[in-house]
Amino acid sequence: MAHRFGILRRFRFNLPQRIAAGLLAAFLLQGLWVTSHQTLSSRDYQYARCGRETWETPSPLAGYYTTCGNIRDGILAYRLAGLPLTLTVLAERGLDVFRKPEDRLVQPGGRASMWELRHQIADVLLLLRLPFLLAGCVLGAGLWWVSRRLYGNWGGYSALALYCFSPAVLRACLSPNPEILAALGIYGGVYTCIGVAHAMQGPRRKWRPRIILLTAVFGIATAAHIAALPVAAVLGLILMLWIAEGHRGNALPLVLLASGGALVLLFACYGFSPDAFSYVFRSADGFLWFSSAPSIRFFSTFSNAGITIGAGASLLLYFGLRKSRYFGNTAPLFCAVVLFALVMTDAPGSPWIWAIPFLLTFIGGVFADAYESERGRMALISAGAIVVLQAVLCLASLPGMV
């Protein structure tokens, strides 16, 4: 019994965790404010309709999993968008037993359409967006955990603060889409690969929990976007080979094992429908190419000025200070550079959004090194000014997201 609750007893909600929770609460409040001023779009209707079909009536047409046809990017976003609505409809059907026949949400033998639901269920728009806002909070919590573990409290604060006031991340959470889910899967997958590589230096009994976690995270990436698993697996494998000294021969088999388990999870997301699942392998939608346009557009956007200044300063410090050029800073920089250069050639997708958590991790790491230098106080003040600038620009951009 003591061992079972050991992890809970070790958890502490002290000042660092409270500050991180406050920043994530600010992120969530921004998203809720924008959501309260939005209206339902045609994209919302598509995700709501097809998302509900994945839970309630899959495979209504021969050869297709939903009436949306073959899902080109990833099924997880549709399932998450439809789940709150499906659960709400089930709850309302239960309450229909106690209502007058004319007041029931779903008449006997009928099915409530999205057009009917928007008039009969309160907060449909919030229900559609809440899963993606929560995914953004989970990604922010993961960013905080990684940054704080690598760089200490102040490095974690710097990375998380810039994340919570990133208009690009907020925008990705304010409509049903696979980008924030793919970012979560890739970021978690890469750092879990690093964790597995570190575990290889210890006894084999410590490998299993990390491999299971890696399979689950790869499963999120696979179901989120058609191109996310190859990207996460390749980046994770490269970093594993970098640090798994004496065990490099195990790196590829472990990544392949986790990738195979992720495909099983993807098969489950398609309701174990072989035809729908096979489309993942029959389409050319997962092809990637290289372009500098996304990174130029991101860093030239005025609302990202704080992040741009922070990235520029971090690069100068990284190349100027020898102590900053170590694996903990180089790994996220490498991943950010690769992801910012990728573009989708057919299916919709924005790999530059997947790069943002790695970029902010790199900024937090280099800033943490600067805080510990001889001019640490000046570095802390400068970083604080960058965070305040980014927060102001993000808050000023919120009306434009409506």
Q: Which residues contact 392 (CB under 8 A, 6 or more apart)?
A: none
Reported as type and span, the H/E element at residue 342 is strand 342-344
208 in helix, strand or coil? helix
Q: Who wins on pLDDT, 208 or 381?
A: 381
* Predicted local distance difference test score (pLDDT) of residue 14: 87
State yes or no: pLDDT of 92 exceeds 80.
Answer: no
The Cα-based distances of 55 to 115, 130, 163, 268, 301 in angstroms read 18, 18, 33, 12, 39
pLDDT band for 90, please (50, 70, 90 cuts): confident
Cβ atoms of residues 189 and 196 within 8 Å: no
State yes or no: pLDDT of 399 exceeds 70.
Answer: yes
Cβ atoms of residues 219 and 262 within 8 Å: yes
User: Of 22-31, 174-183, 274-283, 311-320, which range is least confident?
Assistant: 274-283
Mean pLDDT of the chain: 88
Rg (CA), the chain: 22
